[in-house]
Amino acid sequence: MRYLRYLYVPMACCAAGLVIVLGVQGLTAAWITLVLLLLEISLSFDNAVVNARVLDQLTPGQQRFFLTWGLVIPVFGVRFAGPLLMVALAGGVSVRQALDAALHHPVRYRELLDLAEPRILAFGGMFLLMVFLRYFFDEAKTLHWLKPLERRLSAAGRIESLEIALALIILLAVDLALPGPQRADVLIAGLIGLVLQLLSTSLAQAFGDEEQAGARLAAGGGLASLLYLELLDASFSLDGTIGAFAITSNLGLILTGLGLGALFIRSLTLMLCREKALEKLIFLEHGAHYAIGALGLVMLAGILLRQHHLHVPEWLTGVIGLLLLVLSFGDSLRHSRRV
């Protein structure tokens, strides 16, 4: 029961939000909001596991900052301002025109978002793929879930920067399969995602030993970790935002549904961190990173599929992530019983 106390507030907020939408816009709007809420939870559950590991290294004050302002930034920054800027760049319109389309002409906004989608997928896909590769390409890693595979990946980590080379090869393969006019945009967006992932994790590691580095470096390490958390959240949110517009063009419902889902995920992150659940469920982090890698590859594959007017449904990526987490959770429980 002590775990449920972390979920009382988000569950109450979700219920209140759905009731308000029901009263203002009717049953159909409430149902769409519920679908968006569940979409966000299913896509970001594995994000909560990884966030909990990073959050565990921060001070209580930094944790509170992430769980308050850290909610505002992804909801309004990533789901609203981020796509708005991408739409303006891709559509060759001003930010004001993109905002007008988002608020008053949702169909037009969706058309502009379609133009920006390859860049969004390239950025998010490369960021998440690098999170996956840097976790497993680590020669110091001794705890393995899928031992035959992970031991080989860990051994491959002895080759310096191999994960970067592999990620770049995948990006180039995707880029070369695209029509000429799109290649530069996708390549640049993918490289930005890769560089930001490397930069944010490197900064966090540089200030990582907070007990020995002193107060100033501890603060720096906290800020670097917060930056990494926000970028990771952003990458997860990009796919969900695109999927949300496939469900509805109503920006208000999108912000409400995904925002409530993000609130739920943050409370789940706090629960995993405060209750030290990852120390007991030792393979859960592995499952989360496999899910992250799968999502990154799906986003990159989505760039190619859209050339043939195909689309990977968001519920499928959510199901893949949840399945990997359930399997790792079950193996963690069996391992804890044997110990």
Residue 209 has pLDDT above 60, yes or no: no
Residue 200: per-residue pLDDT: 74
**How far is it, in rounded angstroms, from Cα 120 to Cα 83?**
8
Between CA 271 and CA 294 the distance in angstroms is 25
Query: Can you tell me the distance from the alpha carbon of 233 to that of 245, in angstroms, rounded to the nearest whole number?
Result: 18
* Contact present, 186 and 175 (Cβ < 8 Å): yes
Q: What digits encode the pLDDT tens for the residues 4-35?
A: 777 888 889 899 999 999 999 899 889 888 88
**Strongest mean pLDDT among 44-48, 166-170, 197-201, 307-311:** 166-170
Q: What pLDDT shows up at residue 339? A: 65
pLDDT band per the 50, 70, 90 thresholds, residue 297: very high
Residue 36, pLDDT above cutoff 50: yes
Q: How far apart are CA 34 and CA 260, in angstroms?
A: 9
Confidence category of residue 212, pLDDT binned at 50, 70, 90? very low
Residue 211 confidence (pLDDT) = 38
Of 30-34, 50-54, 194-198, 286-290, where does mean pLDDT reach its minimum?
50-54
CB 50 within 8 A of CB 288: yes
Q: So what's the pLDDT on residue 210?
A: 38
Q: How far apart are CA 68 and CA 102, in angstroms?
A: 26
Pick the closest to residue 87 from 108, 68, 69 (CA basis): 108
- As a dihedral over the C-alpha atoms of residue 188, residue 189, residue 195, residue 201, rounded to 10 degrees, the angle is 180
Closest C-alpha to 291, from 323, 329, 248: 323
pTM of the model: 0.79
- Has residue 85 got a pLDDT over 80? no
At 115-146, the pLDDT tens digits run: 888 888 898 889 889 989 999 998 888 889 99
Q: Which ranges of the chain would DSSP assign to H, the alpha helix?
A: 8-25, 27-55, 60-72, 82-91, 95-104, 106-136, 147-156, 162-176, 180-206, 210-247, 251-274, 277-280, 284-305, 314-338
The mean of the pLDDT values for the chain is 81
Tokens linked to 166: 């592999």
